[in-house]
Structure 1
């Protein structure tokens, strides 16, 4: 049975490296970067390797619980929920107009500035990213359910790659499954 304090760095054979963020009588709550979240791992799990031991009585995080960390993360996500990153549009589209012309000439065409359309596309992208964060941080969904839902989001990104021509910088573009 392991006896590591909060703040100890560990390595799990499946989840990789992590940090103990809380401790119960029979298990650790470990945050794994690969999972972007926490997992409960039994203290008697033989394959959990302690990389850097932290004593529970000396750890500066000893007074911080998992609930405190989750509340802080939720506050940050809530604050950032309505903040959208300024994403530059490719210069060739500046002052351009998007025109949607129906085949039937008796019907009116729809026009809108490309900047307006681009802004809406960026908002869709940012909201998809927020949904991804919420799924990854969800406390009830299993890893299998998270992966299943994530595949749908990846499919949506793939469907939106047609709009990548509007982005000035490639790192802002949509990416589907590779």
Structure 2
């Protein structure tokens, strides 16, 4: 017997006419005019199909719906990031910024705070890069032009590579 869709009208010699309300792995849940809700095996030879819905109801998500949901989550949480380690020599250190004018106050920032901001900047550049590459209204020339700006921004930030524990986390500019 073929797999019956929800909404299929069937006839049973004992229970009369019914409508399939659920389809499980091996059974159908059917509401009959005589007998009410019954569960019958999918291999029941006593069921005759009276009419089937024109279109089977959807039971899962389409690829486009999954993609839309993932895009929403990634945008909302600014991408999925992994823990980036700062080089041990900078841990518990301080970044001191002194103005040229001695009358002005200097500023100290914990290295962990500064490193975190550098990593956030890198991650946001990566998200921007992904958004540009997947943008439906930009043509390839526009994407390449915008990508070059991002590559140059990475190149400008290579100074901060000394803060990273792993070379895989480094900023990489344009290679020649």
Shorter chain as normaliser: what TM range?
0.5 to 0.7
Match of 1:98 among 95, 100, 105: 95
Note the 1:115-126 alignment, pairs <5 A: 115-126=112-123
> Are positions 1:166 and 2:176 aligned together?
no
Q: Helix, strand or coil: the match of 1:140?
A: coil
Match of 1:140 among 121, 128, 137: 137
Cα distance change on mapping 1:126 and 1:139 into 2, 3 Å:
same
Gaps of at least 5 residues in structure 2 are 1-59
User: How many equivalent residue pairs?
Assistant: 116
Q: CA deviation at 1:74?
A: 1.6
2: distance between equivalents of 1:139 and 1:70? 14
Note the 1:81-92 alignment, pairs <5 A: 81=78, 83-92=80-89
Q: CA RMSD in A?
A: 2.0
Alpha-carbon contact 1:98-1:113 (below 8 Å) kept: yes
> Are positions 1:157 and 2:154 aligned together?
yes
Structure number with the bigger relative contact order (C-alpha 8 A, sep ≥ 6) is: 1
Taking structure 1 as the reference length, what is the TM-score of the superposition? 0.60
Q: CA deviation at 1:81?
A: 1.4
Q: Helix, strand or coil: the match of 1:98?
A: strand
What are the Cα deviations for residues 122-171 of structure 1, in whole angstroms up to 9, with x where unaligned? Answer: 00000000001111111100011111100000000000000000000010
What are the Cα deviations for residues 101-131 of structure 1, in whole angstroms up to 9, with x where unaligned? Answer: 1111111001010110000000000000000
Alpha-carbon contact 1:84-1:123 (below 8 Å) kept: no
- Aligned counterpart, 2:174: 177
Match of 2:128 among 126, 131, 136: 131
Alpha-carbon contact 1:100-1:110 (below 8 Å) kept: yes
